[in-house]
Amino acid sequence: MNFNTVCRCCLVRPPDKDLKSVYTCQGKTEVYGDMLNECFEIHLPIEPCDSENGICELCIARLRDASDFKHQVLQCQKEFQIKLTTSSDIKGSVFKLLNLKLMVKSCKEMENELMLVINTKFATISVLAKGM
């Protein structure tokens, strides 16, 4: 097998593009060697001869898909953390509001009990005063 004429990623098809060159696809800049490193932490040594640094279109398509998937997951994790934090803040606020409502209810109950005691004491005092 002549390794000078095969894709460095699959060793099956002939290379269509160079691993270290800059390309643009759908408005995105791509350097396939950098994408391999960023996506999988695969560091392909770049050979001095350009013909030995190729990648085929099928491997490029798979690499793009993997790279897009990685970026999707990273973005979703950021959004998830934001929603989780926001949700925790809302839950904390609801909990505080419920505690406040319980405190208000408790205060009203205490006020009612106090009024009952005062009314009872007042009634007792009135009865005693009439008897004197």
- CA torsion through residues 22, 66, 74, 71, sign: positive
Q: How far apart are CA 116 and CA 102, in angstroms?
A: 21
Q: How far apart are CA 55 and CA 17, in angstroms?
A: 5
* Residue 76 marked as a ligand binder: no
* Residue 39 marked as a ligand binder: no
Q: How far apart are CA 28 and CA 38, in angstroms?
A: 15
* Residue 49 marked as a ligand binder: no
- DSSP annotation of 4: G
- DSSP, residue by residue, 37-96: HHHH---PPPPSSGGGSEE-HHHHHHHHHHHHHHHHHHHHHHHHHHHHHHHHHHHHHHHH
Structure tokens at 121: 């004491």
* Residue 9 marked as a ligand binder: no
Name the binding residues.
Answer: 7, 10, 56, 59
Binding residues for Zn(2+): 7, 10, 56, 59
